[in-house]
Amino acid sequence: MPELPELQSLRCDLEAVLAENRLSALFQPIASLNDGELFGYEGLIRGPSASFLYSPINLFRSAEALGMLPALDLACRRVIIAAFVAERLPGRLFLNVCPSCVTAPDFQPGVTLEILRSVGLPPQRVVIELTETQPTHDYALLKDALLHYREMGFQIAIDDLGEGFSSLRLWSELKPDFIKIDKYFVQGVASDAQKRQFVRSIQHIALNTATRVIAEGIETPQELDVVRRIGIGFGQGYHIGRPHAHPSRLLSLDLVEQDSAKALNPCAKSAGSLLVEAQTVSPTERGEAVCQLFTRSPQLYALPVVEDNRPVGLLKRHDVLEFFARPFTHELYGNRPCQGLMDAAPLIVETSMSLQELSLLVTAAERRYLADGFIITEHGRYLGMGTGHDLMRAITELQIRAARYANPLTLLPGNVPIQEQIDALLAEGRAFTIAYFDLDHFKPYNDVYGYAKGDAVIQLVSELLLGFADTQHDFVGHIGGDDFVMLFRSADWQARCEALLQEFDRRRVEHFEPADYVAGGYWSPDRRGEQQWHSIVSLSVGVVEVAPSEYNSHHEVAAVAAAAKRCAKRLSGSSLFVERRKAKFPAGDQTPAVKLVG
């Protein structure tokens, strides 16, 4: 059947746009909401100005109707990638791709990678963002296509969660790196309890699936504040930055400084993660009105009493209803202010308080706090409530996870948390310093002195690492055996390492026979039964300073840290080696670049 004249004209226009390369790219910044720094840009496309095809909606709907969507999709990728590189933009590029295009029979694998290679952009800096313009039917085929992208180094994002045809199933099937919440649920979230609950639920699922969430459509400071309090890590919208052909590389977000626990661990949970919206009353509210509120709402267990946006007390359901159940109470006290009925000393905590600190506070305080719940504030201003039930559930989840991955000897975080911590710092674009600690001559010590003594030396190292770490900024992990890692955010990491090595040398005397320690070593038989001299145990540390965007994964960071450690172990005694070269180097033997002996 021949096309209608309107479609024929539209086809000619679209073919001309593609043939003459009359598409242009815009870039909208995506911010890290932990520190307000730039994380990357979403690449957007526009058709010819003053044309019906200028609007991306018209452009893509026309291409879909004419069967030209794959050609348009590929042309958009070429234009956006070329403009991103020409602008020399930092961070990641979020590149929109239609799922139907990557599952089409004529789809050509590797085309996007070839485009990137031609302009010198590594795939590790590109996030393939799936945009749903039509239903996805073949999930297996789409999953295979995206696995191919992942194998090449790309990350995957699902766009407009909550708006598309099947985005929740896509999330389950594809296990993306990023989820973008549709702007409908973000705009107005500050005043809409249902939207807040939706966003909070998405964040909860994301935490359990290791997915990072991007809130789209942030247009006001209030919306930004709410999504940050919920724990969303990334944001996009007009309040952060508008789409522009030449976007700014610096953001000017007014963010309150995150708490110390958050600085230590970007994935850490705080009291704010337990936030529940709760109705409030004024201290001058009539007692009768409060009684009626509890009577009409069986699920209401407590009412915060708030004055000038600051909590002054807590009205508890059981106490209020029991009080008004007495004879003549309604007549005598019904018109009096409710402040006479409230608990004037409820538990009030800041949203930034870590769950561990909150748990200790609740369990050390009166038992009623666990049953009554607690009021959550930010800089003293009321935010909402938290329940003891939610706190215990969250703490239990954290304890189970910690026990699962902790080293059984030192109880320090093991390989999985270490890897997650490194990847989180890399993803956030944070500079940090990795220090790889390893005991020298430890195996013969274990053989001669026994495993109990060996375990004691390992525990000594663990104690020293924790003692010399800045608990507000640094992370300590136990890889296994006599290998440890510290991820420093504190600026004085070198002084800490040197002091730690000196303290180890001072305290190791406790773990040797006096004669062996004075001699500086001991003789023991090797595998062939021949006597061999072994020096006393020392501690070596290899250090690498990691700049933002310098490495792509914990695997690369681990490789350079291990090479630095080997350089340190070549030096005699307890020693510190700092790798000063900027270029990555293979995990083989290296010539020391810097020698600093502790």
pLDDT digits (tens, 9 = 90+) for 547-565: 988 898 999 999 999 999 9
Strand order in the sheet with 483-488: 475-480, 483-488, 432-440, 538-546, 575-579
Whether the Cβ atoms of residue 97 and residue 131 lie closer than 8 Å to each other? yes
Q: What confidence score (pLDDT) does residue 78 get?
A: 94
Helix residue ranges per DSSP H, 373-472 = 388-405, 415-427, 442-449, 451-468
Assigned superfamily of 411-579: Reverse transcriptase/Diguanylate cyclase domain (3.30.70.270)
Of 89, 424, 85, 26, which Cα lies nearest the Cα of 250? 89
String of b and e for 137-154 (b: at least 16 CB within 10 Å)? Answer: eebeebeebbeebeebeb
Q: CATH number of the domain at 5-248, please? A: 3.20.20.450
pLDDT digits (tens, 9 = 90+) for 473-511: 789 999 999 999 999 988 889 999 999 999 999 999 999
Question: β-strands 538-546, 432-440: how paired?
Answer: antiparallel
Q: Which residues pair with 521 in a beta bridge?
A: 535
- The answer to whether the CB of 112 falls within 8 A of the CB of 151 is no
Residue 594: what pLDDT? Answer: 37
Mean pLDDT, all residues of the chain: 84
Contact criterion met (CB below 8 Å) for 432 and 425: yes
pLDDT by residue (tens digit) across 197-228?
788 878 767 765 668 899 999 998 888 888 88
CA dihedral 67→73→75→78, nearest 10 degrees, is -170
Alpha-carbon gap, residue 180 to 175, rounded angstroms: 13
Joined together, the tokens standing for residue 238 give 């007009």
Q: Which of these, 112, 376, 336, lies nearest to 231 by C-alpha position?
A: 376
Tokens of 111: 């085309």
Q: What is the DSSP string of 163-211?
A: TSSSHHHHHHHH--SEEEE-HHHHTTTTT-HHHHHHHHHHHHHHHHHT-
Would you place residue 104 in the very low, low, confident or very high pLDDT band (cuts 50, 70, 90)?
low
Mean pLDDT of 353-360: 72
Structure tokens at 398: 């954290």
Distance CA 350, CA 273 (A): 11
CA distance 499 to 485: 16
Which tokens is 354 given?
Answer: 């870590």
Nearest to 81 by CA among 53, 123, 46: 123
Q: What is the pLDDT at residue 65?
A: 85
Residue 587 has pLDDT above 80, yes or no: no
- Report whether 462 contacts 412 (CB < 8 A): yes
On the question of pLDDT at 133 being above 70, the answer is no
| 425 and 449 Cβ atoms separated by less than 8 Å | no
Per-residue confidence (pLDDT) for residue 588, from 0 to 100: 42
Answer whether residue 583 shows pLDDT above 60. Answer: no
Name every residue whose Cβ is closer than 8 Å to that of residue 507 and which is 6 or more positions away in sequence: 460, 464
Name the one residue in this structure whose structure tokens are 């009925």: 341
Overall CATH class of domain 287-394:
alpha beta
Q: List the end-to-end C-alpha distance of the chain, in Å, as a whole number.
A: 83
Question: What is the rounded distance in angstroms from the CA atom of residue 83 to the CA atom of residue 245?
Answer: 8
Choice between 598 and 476, residue whose per-residue pLDDT is larger: 476
pLDDT digits (tens, 9 = 90+) for 280-339: 999 999 999 999 999 998 888 889 999 988 888 899 998 999 999 999 889 888 999 998
The per-residue pLDDT for 247 is: 92
Q: How far apart are CA 325 and CA 294, in angstroms?
A: 13
Instruction: Answer yes or no: is pLDDT of 161 > 80.
Output: no
In the chain, where the domains are located:
5-248, 287-394, 411-579
pLDDT value of residue 261: 38
Contact 293, 302 (CB under 8 A): no
Distance CA 287, CA 329 (A): 10
How far is the C-alpha of 228 from the C-alpha of 34, rounded, in Å? 8
Which is more confidently placed, 35 or 485?
485
